[in-house]
Amino acid sequence: MYRERKGDADYMFWIVTPLRNDHHWPYQICAIPVVRKGVLPPGVPLAQAVRTLPPEDVTWYIYAGITHAYSDGASGNALLTDLLRIYAEEANLDLATSTELHSPPEHLALLQHRLRRSLFGRLRGEDNANDDVYHEIVCEDWGRRFGFSKRIKLEPIVVNTLLLAASNVIGCSIDVAWLTAVIGSLLRLFPDQHRFQLILKCACRDGPGQNEMVGFLSEQRVFPIDVGDSRHATLMDVYCAIESVRRSRTWRAPVPFEAGICVYVNIVGSMTEGLPLQCSQVTYPAAGSSSQVQAYAHLNLRIDQISQQQWDFRIFHWDKAWGWGWGSEFAPVLGAVIADMAECPLEPLVPAPVLPWRRLQMQSDPASSKRKDPPSPPELSTTAEPTPDVEQLARSPSTPPPKVMRVEDG
């Protein structure tokens, strides 16, 4: 059976497939029992029949499907905490919480305040890092171009290395570690570029009680990462630049026509721990394949946390001017940068550092001895018609570093 081949969580997602594909309610909550063993009594409603089995033979799941008009990813913690608190009250369970329960502020009033302020416009220097709204529809078609998409399959050793680098070497959160790896990879792939405009999807919940709101409060925030010269800059320089902006909240909402020349990264974590009643969030990798798509930025990345040590890494799109093979070139460079974050974060980014043990490994492989530093971007053809700023980023593929991950086209 399907459940025997897959785990309980996969079987639950298979059960709710019709709910996800055939019905698009704005808000739906379902309680789904997965019976591990035992026989249900006939002629009894499912909810009652399941309760006749021993608790250890049944796993219960709460499936929540909410439209983005009502909720964003950061609302998940507040929503699930409220649901579990209500369940605990009905079941007379002790949550062992020391915080006093109170009603969060009204999120619609906050959204109305933000929207009204955005319609009046703002002058330079009047940025509000938490409340500014970016109306992306105004310049949606300005940066539109053809692009490609691809999913990257991360090997467990790559994710474990990133976790090690974040916790034991650099000392940062996992989201900052991902951003450091992405920017470090781009600087190594484009050694003549020293500055990238980075756009993040931020929760924008710095105000009192906003973490407890269920509503779409997230906004795009942009800031530059400038290392001066990638041949002298290090991964620690990249980390410090990102962490400084994150701590001080010196990012801002994009200005009109800016998003099309930026690198967009959306990191979505999951609640693998911290929920009441020893519950945890169960996530499922989204569908995706390699294809030609519409692109709205130089590069658009979506990084979803599936479990504590599993991440779903998708390139939503990159500029077609970079070539079809760019996605396959980006993957091993990303893996090599993650390894450098754990081993030598203070070494220059370009050329890629070769540690003694790596040099011995390369000597044992005759093919690897031919590896050279990444070449400079090629000269543009006089017949080509590159889009603005893209011609500075275009380059021919280089021989990648040793493989530490694989790329799947499905």
> Is the model's pLDDT at 159 over the cut of 90?
yes
Residues linked to residue 311 through DSSP beta bridges, in sequence order: 305
Looking at this protein, which amino acid is placed at residue 235? L
What distance in Å separates the CA atoms of residue 191 and residue 184, rounded to the nearest whole number? 10
* Interval 279-330: pLDDT, tens: 878 887 777 677 889 998 999 999 999 888 889 999 999 999 999 999 999 9
> Strand, helix or coil at 124?
coil
Domain count, the chain: 2
Residue 110, C-beta contacts closer than 8 angstroms, at least 6 positions apart: 207, 210, 213, 215, 217
Of the candidates 171, 323, 176, 325, the one whose C-alpha atom is nearest the C-alpha of residue 243 is 176
Distances (CA, A) of 260 to 183, 198, 212, 318: 17, 11, 33, 11
Q: What is the mean pLDDT of residues 38-63?
A: 86
Structure tokens at 209: 């009680």
For strands 58-66 and 310-319, give the pairing: unpaired
**Is there a domain that residue 380 lies in?**
no
Whether residue 309 is found in the same domain as residue 168: yes
Which of these three, 67, 86, 107, is where a domain ends?
Answer: 67
**Is there a domain that residue 258 lies in?**
yes
* Interval 92-128: pLDDT, tens: 877 665 455 566 678 889 999 999 988 887 777 788 9
**Is there a domain that residue 7 lies in?**
yes
Q: With bands split at pLDDT 50, 70 and 90, how would you rate the model's confidence at 359?
A: low
Angle between helix 174-189 and 235-248 (nearest 10): 130
**Is there a domain that residue 111 lies in?**
no
- Whether 18 and 32 have beta carbons less than 8 Å apart is answered as no
Whether residue 189 is found in the same domain as residue 334: yes
Tokens 């990813």 locate to: 73
What distance in Å separates the CA atoms of residue 159 and residue 165, rounded to the nearest whole number? 10
Of the candidates 113, 152, 139, the one whose C-alpha atom is nearest the C-alpha of residue 288 is 152
**Is there a domain that residue 375 lies in?**
no
Q: What is the mean pLDDT of residues 180-199?
A: 94
* Interval 138-149: pLDDT, tens: 777 778 899 999
Which of these three, 67, 87, 115, is where a domain ends?
Answer: 67
Instruction: Determine phi and psi for 135, rounding to 5 degrees.
Output: -90, 85
Asked if the peptide bond before residue 351 counts as cis, ω within 30 degrees of 0, the response is: yes
Name the CA radius of gyration of the chain, rounded: 24
Whether residue 138 is found in the same domain as residue 222: yes
What distance in Å separates the CA atoms of residue 225 and residue 242, rounded to the nearest whole number? 7
Domain with 172 in it: 127-369+388-408
Percent of the chain with pLDDT over 90: 37
Which of these three, 67, 88, 103, is where a domain ends?
Answer: 67
Reported pTM: 0.79
Neighbours of 35 (CB within 10 A): 16
**Is there a domain that residue 30 lies in?**
yes
Can you give the pLDDT at residue 138?
Answer: 73
